[in-house]
Chain A
Amino acid sequence: MSERNEQLERLAYEYQLLQGQAQLLAQNLELLNLGRNEFQAVKETLEGLKNVEDDKPEILVPIGAGSFLKGRVEDKSNAIVSVGAGYAIEKSLDDAIAYLGERIKEYESAIAKTQEALHQLEHKLQDLAQKAQKLQQQQAMGFKAPKK
């Protein structure tokens, strides 16, 4: 009997450990999604800007809280894109869009990997829960039918 209890305890411990890992992965997944969406939004902005006919279009510069200042895009054909390590490089709109597209692809492959790992963990958690249930049932039956 105590052996079964020990097994149950071990299963519960393993369950907690895996649950912690799953939580971490879920958090990562959320961050990755946020990152991907940000890149996607910038890419769409640049794609939209390309279709604006005006050479130096008047724009509204967001200053927060839904408020804006009037401005003008000085250079509609180049964007300055952050490349990491604190550096940003001027790129033509097409190059910038391609660069952002690459980053988005990287995000997407990381998201797919994380989702896959999360699914595997969820399967393992289900397996563990089933095992624990079986053990508990066996234990209950053991109590009902004492051996002579």
Chain B
Amino acid sequence: MQNIPPQVQALLGQLESYQQQIQLVIQQKQRVQVELNDAKKALEEIEKTEEGIPIYKTVGTLIVKSTKSKALEEVKEKVETLEVRLKALERQEQKLNEKIKELTRQIQSALRGGVAG
């Protein structure tokens, strides 16, 4: 076990880097998911509001009066943007997962070959 062939060491290094990347992607995905849930809930609440009821938007440290239609438009856009980002992150995760599986397979077969040889 101590004498790992250099090619396998290189593969292991690659595997580690992919694993770090996938961890980052998963963290990002969780953050986007939380933000998306928040935006969806806000959208639901704004949709329920009757026309003419005051709606306010946080702008930095100020809270500014807005309208239902403006708020709806903005939050819908936000939801769409976040959904696109989430899908992109999911694709990235899937790709990294495939790479990790493939690398693990390569490493295992290389090690088995080493033992047999």
How many inter-chain contacts with C-beta < 8 Å in the A-B complex? 48
Q: Could you say which residues of chain A place their CB within 8 Å of the CB of B71?
A: 87
Closest to B53 in A: A90
Q: How far in angstroms is the closest Cβ of chain A from B67?
A: 11
Q: Are A85 and B53 in contact (CB under 8 A)?
A: no
- Rounded to whole angstroms, the CA-CA distance of A89 and B67 in the bound complex is 10
In the complex, A87→B75 CA distance in Å? 9
Which residue in A80, A87, A90, A99 is a CB contact (below 8 Å) of B42? A87
Sort chain A's interface into a size bin: 10 to 19
Which of chain A's residues has its CB closest to B36's CB?
A85
Which single member of B45, B63, B78 contacts A83 (CB below 8 Å)? B45
Judge if B27 is at the interface, Cβ distance under 8 Å.
Answer: no
Residue in B closest to A91 when the chains form the complex, CB atoms: B53
Knowing A88-B63, A89-B49 are in contact, say whether A83-B54 is a contact too (CB < 8 A). no
| 60-119 of chain A: CB within 8 A of chain B | 80, 83-90, 99
In the complex, chain A residues whose CB is within 8 Å of the CB of B45: 83-84, 87, 89, 99
Q: CA of A90 to CA of B67 in the docked complex: distance in angstroms?
A: 12
Contact, CB under 8 Å: B56 / A88: yes
**A residues less than 8 Å from B54 (CB atoms):** 80, 89-90
B39 close to chain A: CB less than 8 A = yes
Within 8 A of A (CB), among B24-66: 38-39, 41-43, 45-46, 49, 53-58, 63, 66
> CB-CB < 8 A to A89: which residues of B?
45-46, 49, 53-56
Cβ-defined contact, A88 with B38, below 8 A: no
Q: Can you list 23 A-B pairs with a CB-CB distance of less than 8 A?
A: A80-B56, A83-B42, A83-B45, A84-B39, A84-B42, A84-B45, A85-B38, A85-B41, A85-B78, A86-B57, A87-B46, A87-B55, A87-B56, A87-B71, A87-B75, A88-B57, A88-B63, A89-B46, A89-B53, A90-B53, A90-B54, A90-B55, A90-B56
**Which residues of B line the A interface, CB within 8 A?**
38-39, 41-43, 45-46, 49, 53-58, 63, 66, 71, 75, 78
